[in-house]
Amino acid sequence: MLNRRSLLASGAALLAAPSIVKAQTVVGVTSEEIKIGSIMPYSGPASAYGAIGRLQQAFFKGVNEAGGISGRRINFLSLDDGYQPPKTVEQTRRLVEQDRVAFLFNTLGTPGNTAIQRYVNQRKVPHLFLATGADKWADPQNFPWTIGYQPSYRTEAQIFTKYMLENDRNAKLGILYQNDDFGKDYIAGVRDVLGARFDAVVKTVSYEVTDATIDSQVVQLHGSGVDCLLTAATPKFAAQTIRKVHDIGWRPKMHFLTDVSISVGSVMNPAGPEKGVGILTAAYLKEPTDPTWQADPGMQEWRAWMVKHMPDADQTDGNFVYSYGVSKCLMQVLTQCNGDFSRENVMKQATSLNNVAIPTLINGITVGTSASNFHPIRKMQLAKWDGKTWERFGGLIEGANV
C-alpha cells in the first residue's frame, strides 16, 4: 500500500505496476471506511452556500448511522475555502495529499474549481458533481476526471432565448446580469441562439454585488426600448428587480428569471407576489416554499429527513433541497460501485448513471451520464409565476439540444 502510494505520487503508478492486469488506484478506502473530500465557502462572501456543506455532513452521518455503504462508514471531510481560489488550491491539496481522500465531491464555486481542475485531473482524482452552474465542466476529452451536476446557466439562457423567439420573432431583449461568471454565462447562452443578431437585438446592463440597489440599471433598460427582460441576478437583486420593474410601470412582454432566484420565500414574496405575475423561469429542482410541492412524495421525504437530521435548519432555504439531491445522487454512484471504490471505478460508475430518479428533482427529470455525456442533468421545465406558485407548462426541455 505504502509502496503504491509513493509510486502514485511520482505519477508513474500505471507504468510501474505491469503485473496487475488492470491498474486500480485505491486511495482513501480501507475495510472500515471511505474518505470523501469536499470544499465549501463556510466563511467569506459566499457563506450562504455553507448550508450545502452542512447538510452533506448531516447526510453522511445519517448514512453511517444506518450502516454505511458496502460495510464501510463514510468519512466526509468538508473544508472551508472562503470562496478564495488560492485557499481552494491549498485545501484541495490537503484533501488529496495529506488526508488522501478517495475522491472530491460537490466542490463549490466556479473560480475555485477552475483553479483545481487541472491539478485533480493530473492526479486522476475523481472530481464529482461540482456545485457550479458553469458550462465548462463537461469536457471528457481534456478533463476526464471532472464532471458537473446541474444544468448550466448557459443552457438555461438558451432555453429562454428560444422560447422568446418562438413567441415573438422581433422581440428586443434586455439582460440585467451580475458581473461575474454566473451572469456572463447567461449572455453567452443568449448569444449562442441569436448569433450575429445579438448586437441588434440585445441590450445588456450589469450590476456589482457591492451595489446597494439596481434601480438605476432597471431604469436604464426600461429607457433603452427593449420589450423583454432576462434577469440573471442573485436573490436579493432579483427581488429588487421584480419590484422596481413593476413599480416604474414597466410590463415587459416576457420577463425571464434565472432559476437561482426563484425561491418563493426569499425572492417572490419579498418582492411582492403580485408584482411578479407572469415571470418565466426554467427549473429543474423542486422549490421548498412553493405550495405545489406540499403533498409531493419526494419533498415529503426531504422534509422528513430535515426534521430528523437538521431540526433547527431553515426549511425555506433552497440550498438544502439542492444538497439533499446531489448527496442522494452520490449514494447511487457508491451503491453502483458495489464495494470496489478504486478511483477508476468511482469515475466509471459516476459516468454510468442510467436515468436515476432523485426525489428533489422535478418529476420526470432524472440524472443520466455516460462515457461521452458529462451533463448529469440536462432537462428543465418552463414555469410561470401566477402570484402564488410557479405553474409549470410545456414539456421537459432537453437543454443540450437547443
What does DSSP say about strands 254-257 and 202-207: parallel, antiparallel, or unpaired? unpaired
Give the footprint of other proteins on residues 90-129 (CB under 8 A).
90, 93-94, 96-98, 109, 111-112, 114-115, 118-119
Among 78, 146, 155, 360, binds other proteins (CB under 8 A): 78
Shortest reach from residue 90's CB to other proteins, in Å = 6
Crossing angle of helices 318-337 and 297-309, in 10° steps, is: 100
Closer residue to other proteins, CB minimum distance, 156 or 185? 185
Shortest reach from residue 100's CB to other proteins, in Å = 10
Shortest reach from residue 252's CB to other proteins, in Å = 14
Shortest reach from residue 309's CB to other proteins, in Å = 15
Give the footprint of other proteins on residues 211-230 (CB under 8 A).
211-213, 215-217, 219-220, 223
d(Cα 92, Cα 89) in Å, to the nearest integer? Answer: 5
Confirm if 228 and 255 have CB atoms less than 8 A apart.
yes
Shortest reach from residue 92's CB to other proteins, in Å = 10
Give the footprint of other proteins on residues 1-40 (CB under 8 A).
9
d(Cα 308, Cα 173) in Å, to the nearest integer? Answer: 46
Closer residue to other proteins, CB minimum distance, 56 or 349? 56
Binding mask 265-304 for other proteins (x = CB under 8 A): xxx-xx----------------------------------
Backbone angles phi, psi at 132, to 5 degrees: -155, 145
- Of 139-147, 150-158, 177-185, 377-385, the window that binds other proteins (rule: CB under 8 A) is 177-185
Residue 263: how many other CB atoms lie within 10 Å: 23
Q: Cell triple for residue 362?
A: 422535478
d(Cα 127, Cα 201) in Å, to the nearest integer? Answer: 39
53 near other proteins, judged by CB under 8 A: yes
Angle (CA) 247 269 212, round 5°: 60
State which amino acid sits at residue 331: M
Give the footprint of other proteins on residues 364-393 (CB under 8 A).
none
Among 152, 231, 240, 258, binds other proteins (CB under 8 A): 240
Closer residue to other proteins, CB minimum distance, 210 or 372? 210
Shortest reach from residue 313's CB to other proteins, in Å = 8
Confirm if 129 and 137 have CB atoms less than 8 A apart.
no
Q: Which residues of 20-59 are buried (b: 16+ CB within 10 A; e: fewer)?
A: eeeeebbbbbeeebbbbbbbbbbeeebeebbbbbbbbbbb
Closer residue to other proteins, CB minimum distance, 240 or 381? 240
Give the footprint of other proteins on residues 195-214 (CB under 8 A).
205-213
Shortest reach from residue 310's CB to other proteins, in Å = 12
Closer residue to other proteins, CB minimum distance, 32 or 208? 208
Closer residue to other proteins, CB minimum distance, 87 or 392? 87
H helix intervals, 248-364: 269-271, 297-309, 318-337, 343-350
d(Cα 153, Cα 20) in Å, to the nearest integer? Answer: 43
Question: How many binding residues for other proteins (CB under 8 A)?
Answer: 72
Shortest reach from residue 20's CB to other proteins, in Å = 25
What are the strands, taking DSSP E only, across 126-250?
Answer: 127-128, 173-178, 202-207, 228-232
Among 4, 246, 384, 388, binds other proteins (CB under 8 A): 246
d(Cα 391, Cα 318) in Å, to the nearest integer? Answer: 18
DSSP state of 265: I
Shortest reach from residue 314's CB to other proteins, in Å = 5
Cell 485533480 found at: 120
